[in-house]
Structure 1
Amino acid sequence: MTNSTPAADKQGPTAIFWIALAFSSFQLITAAFSPLTSQVVRTVHVGFVLLLIFTLYPPWEDHARLGGLGKVLGWVLGGTGFVFSLYHWWYEADLTQRAGELIPADWVVGVVTVALVFEAARRVMGWGLPIICGIFLLYGLFGEHLPGALAHRGFGLDQIVGALGFGTEGIYGTPTYVSSSYIFLFILFGAFLEQAGMITLFTDFAMGTVGHTRGGPAKVSVISSGLMGTINGSGVANVVTTGQFTIPLMKRFGYSPAFAGGVEATASMGGQIMPPVMGAVAFIMAETIDVPYVAIVQAALIPAMLYFATAFWMVHLEAGRKGLLGLPKSECPDPWAALRIRWYLLLPLIGLVLLLFSGYTPLFSGTVGLALTVVLIFGAAVMTGVHGRALRALFWVLLGLACAGFFQFGVGTFFGVVAVLVAISYIRQVGADTRKVALQAMVDGARHALPVAVACALVGVIISMINLTGVAAELGGRIISVGESSLFLALFLTMLICLVLGMGIPTIPNYIITSSLAAPVLLKLGVPLLVSHMFVFYFGIMADLTPPVALAAFAAAPIAHTSGLKISIQAVRIAVAGFIVPFMAVYSPALMLQSGDWADTAYVVFKALVAIGMWGAGAIGFLITRLNWFERVYAVVAASFLVVALPLTDEIGFGAVAVFVAWHVWRSRSARTSPA
């Protein structure tokens, strides 16, 4: 949620355009050639983020008299943040030698940078996250004066500033490391694919396959948003891209504005758990619990498919309840023709999947995937007639990547940079359209990364204060005492924490807070490590759909022309069955491939599909025909027995569902055969 419209949107490509381009170039060079230490990359990454945010969202932008002064102040604040980030680079050796001992210059850089990160996050996302992080900061400063078990031993201001502004546990902690390496690359990867026409491919394919079926326009939204989620991992970005087409289409064919927005918001948020790219949290999770990223992908695959099956089923039932038909077959594009025309766009995605599942790191896989996308853009230039120049540029790009990959640090970096510079000289001659696509993708990638990057920096405050004070152990002990008597109650409290936090902060800080506080508790209660983290991750996503503050719903509101609150209520209704899937994974870890064999996984997936079918019917009020209130309640209760992995509850659940389905089929047939 932003406070104002980015200034660059009004000015066009000016200095901000070139700063964003420089930001993306810096990230690509450091990812491919590793010329700098990780700590320097993190600080410069945050410096670029501050510079772009304060110039894109200057103070008093909408004030007639103060607008000009606000732009100047924005440049001053952003420039200060960027220059101070270079302080860590220039004095890297000195800072390492005197770690923990601050000189006056360290005090100025540390305090000002932390303050700028707080303000930058407020300007991009509103007050929610800065307030929560500010509470943790105040706890670190004054928590020693609290009564009882919440009090800590007390810390000096120099310890707080040193922990937040320097080292690897504050604003330059693990989230910023992940943001400056994996996340930025994958955001840039998605931006290049979008510029190359991936949205058109996904939309045409979805329209051609399900557009003509019952409720087809809403099913198009579910499929296209799910497919887009595989490459960008951003719920809000999905809403504002695919939603521009799908929401008006759903409204035109009879869905209410709130339901249309709810479908798009629900489907778009699922992109964060849809492999192979998933959302930024997946990369942070892999670093936090020290497991390969491919393990996260494997654990998320079945729940993600169940999530989208839920959304697909709900729109199908709503279409049946309202008697909505699909698009005329003649208006639907041929999905296979769309694949024949743009099949090459799938190559980077296929290459990314193969590399990830072959055991390569996300950093290497993302770099290669991005390189393949650039190759496609040059290939398009070749096919449009700019043969020689495009091929020469392509040759030098590939040579640069080869130098980076196969030579030692010094030689590889030197030849790699030379090769890229030569490639740029050819890129200038490739053609205006191709050059515009490449440059715009670089700029879009940098701008799309800003909310994620500043959130990753600011939540470092929370991580630092939790580690410094040890408050997580105290709160964890309280929840454990509850969970000893009831695991379900502990899970329910954890879910509430995730949803309440989600009212004001995005998924990334939500996950970091709850994984620090609640996930270790669930682990001690016997929940597998990966399942416990996926549990809080899942509900961090669902928090973006729940009122009163639902980021995805409010992003859909201007497109649907209705209130974000109405959309969020419909989104919760559409995703209602999805709230139960994490609970099923805890009781049956085979759902996330964490226990048992394929037979166990198949059984729990079958249970989940049956439960989703019944919850959907109860929430919508329709199966074959309309359901009355008693039938709706009965369907939900019957499905709830399938959540707990006990033989008795499974038998009761399957039996109750079978009775309900038989009754409903008999009643619907009787209604059709009875005289009008």
Structure 2
Amino acid sequence: MDHDQSVAALPRSIFWVAVLFSVFQIYTAAFSPISSQVVRAIHVGFVLLMIFTLMPTFFGRKIPALGWILGLIGFVFSFYHWVFESDLTARAGEMTTEDMVVGIVIIALVFEATRRMMGIALPIICGLFLLYGLYGEFLPGSFAHRGYGFDQIISTLSFGTEGIYGTPTYVSSTYIFLFILFGSFLERAGMITLFSDLAMGTVGHTRGGPAKVSVVSSGLMGTINGSGVANVVTTGQFTIPLMKRFGYSSAFAGGVEATSSMGGQIMPPVMGAVAFIMAETINVPYVEIVKAAIIPAILYFFTAFWTVHLVAGREGLFGLPKEECPNPWAAIRTHWYLLIPLIGLVSLLFSGYTPLFSGTVGLGLTVILIFGAAAISGCSRNTLRYLFWLLLGLACTGFVKFGVITFFVIIALLAAFLLIQRHSKDVLRDSIQSLADGARHALPVAIACALVGVIIGIINLTGVAAEFGGQVIAIGKDNLLLALFLTMITCLVLGMGIPTIPNYIITSSLAAPILLQLGVPLIVSHMFVFYFGIMADLTPPVALAAFAAAPIAKTTGLKISIQALRVAIAGFIVPYMAVYSPALMLQDYTSPIEVIYVVVKAVFAIVLWGVATTGFMRTKVQVWERVYVFVAAAMLVWADPISDQIGWAMTALFLVWHYLRSRGVEHKAA
């Protein structure tokens, strides 16, 4: 059974397991009835149960009974942490025979479940770290550790808070799951239609319009689901065939969608799972991560937008006829109520509430909106009239009298009046389906978070990160650019086999502390790693987003991946600019003027680099001109007063020269 299949086709028993999983996560998030360690363990237990029952293939044959047996073993063993919670706390570090059995079985099941869900690359990497923990004492040189007992390794990985149940699993079992569920409800309520119509109406008729629609709609969807692959398989179903119909090659259409979709992971307010893990790892409020990400996210999508604009001009590709494009304002008027949960979520995040609380309220607003319509649809006309005016009056005073949460609850109920004419009889069915969708979509993230705990546990136990950092600092201590380049290569190489979350966890554990010691601000150093973890997901030969787009585009994932890198290539300069000019991430700046200057400089650098990579601006650009603008962009990135002056002078000369030359070409053509 393919792991990307729709949950609508799930067998009934697995479907209800998925629903129960979502209900458990919502209940524990809202009321916190049990300890965090128990929530993490049962979260992993649900994940193991679902993966083994969804993918019961053994030795080339499907054996559902064996899948259920292994899944139930993982699920039942997860309750060991709940039943014996006090005993485990009292004898922390002292392993009994039962502890060893449970620990070994859970580790083995997590490895196998990850292989089934994510492929072999991540288990191999984590397996190497596990072998290092077990036998690293026999290595020659400075990487040898003092040696650790088998029971100590199992205790760290299976029962501590630095192994399988470490920070990534904590984040997966709280923030990530809720936000995936939040996106699932909004998608089923019609958010994809709203964003697609909005994108089509605003940019569909411009040059290269279909490709720009992909960039805009994927960016908007990224604000609610934070998943690159999920964006590809949702918005891509519409945008990729549209691009192909208007002359774009299959590979380029898939590449544009893959690039745009991956940007959803850095697009506030929800961003991707890594953002929540980062906030917990470096112990800063989530809103600080959002503030640091907002400008780079806009620049990322500007990069994709600009590149497709240039390619469309070079290939002579035009947009859709304006009369075929929907009216964006009509789309907003029709579906504005869907924005209420999103606006409420953003308001709470920026009001200082935690992501867990904000996500719970955002999900609650969505449910209130949907079920409110079903509830009030049975009221009489007079009752509806009185309810409407009562809620309207409460909304006018709600923010002042009752606070932001009550205000948004009232607004959600008010908006529910607009949904009465919708098919309220389907509300309960759609809501249950959304619960199953959310659980199903959370599986790849959750199992990856569990397995990379092996890496974190071994790194913290052995201290290998400090040794690795010392080696890289020795290479790059006198050259920050070299250290940045080595970190980038590490992210890209790792990205050839594993997705963004484990990529970030590995490289942030090894490389981010190095950048910090070299003077890079804390958030900037982690965002640098995060950013290239995203770029790694577009890197051949293994690029998850590209391969997700392949069946839709009807071409190979490798061809799509190459095109995706061409679209996103200018985006490689943004992380470097942020390191040399932290104001780009709203860090270490003295005035708003400094931020504005850095942003303007970044925009011009991206414009020039886009011209260099596509060979087109107003007209085709010659080879020597492409080299020239590449150097000009590099001068702007360098962030030195002299290099800035050189870069601005080179930029001005090129723009004047190119404008005059393009006017000459147009005159000859006329």
Q: Secondary structure at the match of 1:36?
A: coil
Match of 2:88?
95
Match of 1:544?
537
Measure how far apart 1:629 and its partner are: 1.5
Following the alignment from structure 1 to structure 2, what is the Cα–Cα distance between the partners of residues 10 and 178?
A: 27
Measure how far apart 1:376 and its partner are: 1.4
Match of 1:59?
57
Q: Secondary structure at the match of 1:575?
A: helix
Following the alignment from structure 1 to structure 2, what is the Cα–Cα distance between the partners of residues 668 and 369?
A: 51
Match of 1:172?
165
Following the alignment from structure 1 to structure 2, what is the Cα–Cα distance between the partners of residues 328 and 151?
A: 66
Counterpart among 480, 485, 493 of residue 473 in structure 2: 480
Following the alignment from structure 1 to structure 2, what is the Cα–Cα distance between the partners of residues 351 and 10?
A: 29
Counterpart among 637, 640, 652 of residue 658 in structure 1: 652
Match of 2:69?
76
Following the alignment from structure 1 to structure 2, what is the Cα–Cα distance between the partners of residues 675 and 76?
A: 73
User: CA contact under 8 A between 2:210 and 2:320: conserved in structure 1?
Assistant: yes
Measure how far apart 1:266 and its partner are: 0.4
Match of 1:397?
none
Following the alignment from structure 1 to structure 2, what is the Cα–Cα distance between the partners of residues 5 and 449?
A: 12
User: CA contact under 8 A between 1:110 and 1:161: conserved in structure 2?
Assistant: yes
Measure how far apart 1:80 and its partner are: 0.3
Counterpart among 48, 68, 90 of residue 50 in structure 1: 48
Match of 1:637?
631
Measure how far apart 1:631 and its partner are: 1.4
User: CA contact under 8 A between 1:515 and 1:536: conserved in structure 2?
Assistant: yes
Cα-Cα RMSD: 1.7
User: CA contact under 8 A between 1:8 and 1:56: conserved in structure 2?
Assistant: no
Measure how far apart 1:8 and its partner are: 7.9
User: Which digits, 9 at most, give the CA deviation of each residue in 1:332-384, with x for residues without a partner?
Assistant: 1110011001000000000000000010000110000000000111234357x
Amino acid across the alignment from 2:606: I
User: CA contact under 8 A between 1:591 and 1:605: conserved in structure 2?
Assistant: yes
User: CA contact under 8 A between 2:8 and 2:433: conserved in structure 1?
Assistant: no
C-alpha spacing 1:619/1:380, structure 2 compared with 1 (3 Å): farther
Match of 1:589?
582
Following the alignment from structure 1 to structure 2, what is the Cα–Cα distance between the partners of residues 111 and 432?
A: 48
Measure how far apart 1:636 and its partner are: 1.2
**Number of aligned residues:** 630
Counterpart among 339, 342, 353 of residue 335 in structure 2: 342
Match of 1:618?
612
Match of 2:523?
530
User: CA contact under 8 A between 2:373 and 2:424: conserved in structure 1?
Assistant: no
Measure how far apart 1:674 and its partner are: 2.7
Following the alignment from structure 1 to structure 2, what is the Cα–Cα distance between the partners of residues 464 and 83?
A: 24
Match of 2:395?
none
User: Which digits, 9 at most, give the CA deviation of each residue in 1:598-642, with x for residues without a partner?
Assistant: 100000000000000011111111100011222112111111111
Counterpart among 306, 310, 323 of residue 313 in structure 1: 306
Q: Does 1:108 align with 2:108?
A: no
C-alpha spacing 1:621/1:382, structure 2 compared with 1 (3 Å): farther
Q: Does 1:295 align with 2:293?
A: no
Amino acid across the alignment from 1:189: F
Listed as ranges, the matches of 1:450-465 within 5 Å are: 450-465=443-458
* More off after superposition, 130-139 vs 8-17: 8-17
Amino acid across the alignment from 1:634: Y
User: CA contact under 8 A between 2:14 and 2:50: conserved in structure 1?
Assistant: yes
Listed as ranges, the matches of 1:216-295 within 5 Å are: 216-295=209-288
User: CA contact under 8 A between 2:496 and 2:541: conserved in structure 1?
Assistant: yes
Would you identify which runs of 4 or more consecutive aligned residues in structure 1 move more than 6 Å?
Answer: none
Listed as ranges, the matches of 1:295-444 within 5 Å are: 295-381=288-374, 385-387=377-379, 432-444=425-437
Following the alignment from structure 1 to structure 2, what is the Cα–Cα distance between the partners of residues 560 and 79?
A: 38
Q: Secondary structure at the match of 2:478?
A: coil
Match of 1:569?
562
TM-score calculated relative to the size of structure 2: 0.92
Measure how far apart 1:263 and its partner are: 0.5
Following the alignment from structure 1 to structure 2, what is the Cα–Cα distance between the partners of residues 657 and 475?
A: 40
Following the alignment from structure 1 to structure 2, what is the Cα–Cα distance between the partners of residues 632 and 528?
A: 33
Match of 1:507?
500
User: CA contact under 8 A between 2:136 and 2:145: conserved in structure 1?
Assistant: yes
Structure 1 unaligned regions, length at least 5: 395-429
Q: Secondary structure at the match of 1:611?
A: helix
Following the alignment from structure 2 to structure 1, what is the Cα–Cα distance between the partners of residues 669 and 571?
A: 40
User: CA contact under 8 A between 2:7 and 2:15: conserved in structure 1?
Assistant: no
Counterpart among 486, 492, 503 of residue 493 in structure 1: 486
Q: Does 1:608 align with 2:602?
A: yes
Measure how far apart 1:672 and its partner are: 1.8
Counterpart among 14, 18, 22 of residue 24 in structure 1: 22
Following the alignment from structure 1 to structure 2, what is the Cα–Cα distance between the partners of residues 541 and 468?
A: 28
Match of 2:201?
208
Match of 1:647?
641
User: CA contact under 8 A between 2:374 and 2:425: conserved in structure 1?
Assistant: no
User: Which digits, 9 at most, give the CA deviation of each residue in 1:3-51, with x for residues without a partner?
Assistant: 8356886964410000000000000000001100001000000000000
User: Which digits, 9 at most, give the CA deviation of each residue in 1:312-345, with x for residues without a partner?
Assistant: 1011111111111111111111100110010000
Measure how far apart 1:660 and its partner are: 1.1
TM-score calculated relative to the size of structure 1: 0.91
Amino acid across the alignment from 2:439: A
User: Which digits, 9 at most, give the CA deviation of each residue in 1:165-190, with x for residues without a partner?
Assistant: 10111100011011101110001000
User: CA contact under 8 A between 1:202 and 1:228: conserved in structure 2?
Assistant: yes
Counterpart among 157, 170, 175 of residue 150 in structure 2: 157
Match of 1:39?
37
User: CA contact under 8 A between 1:8 and 1:16: conserved in structure 2?
Assistant: no
Q: Secondary structure at the match of 2:57?
A: coil
User: CA contact under 8 A between 1:7 and 1:58: conserved in structure 2?
Assistant: no
Match of 1:417?
none
Amino acid across the alignment from 1:226: G
User: Which digits, 9 at most, give the CA deviation of each residue in 1:133-190, with x for residues without a partner?
Assistant: 0000000000000000010000000000000110111100011011101110001000
Q: Secondary structure at the match of 1:641?
A: helix
Following the alignment from structure 2 to structure 1, what is the Cα–Cα distance between the partners of residues 640 and 328?
A: 44
User: CA contact under 8 A between 1:381 and 1:387: conserved in structure 2?
Assistant: no
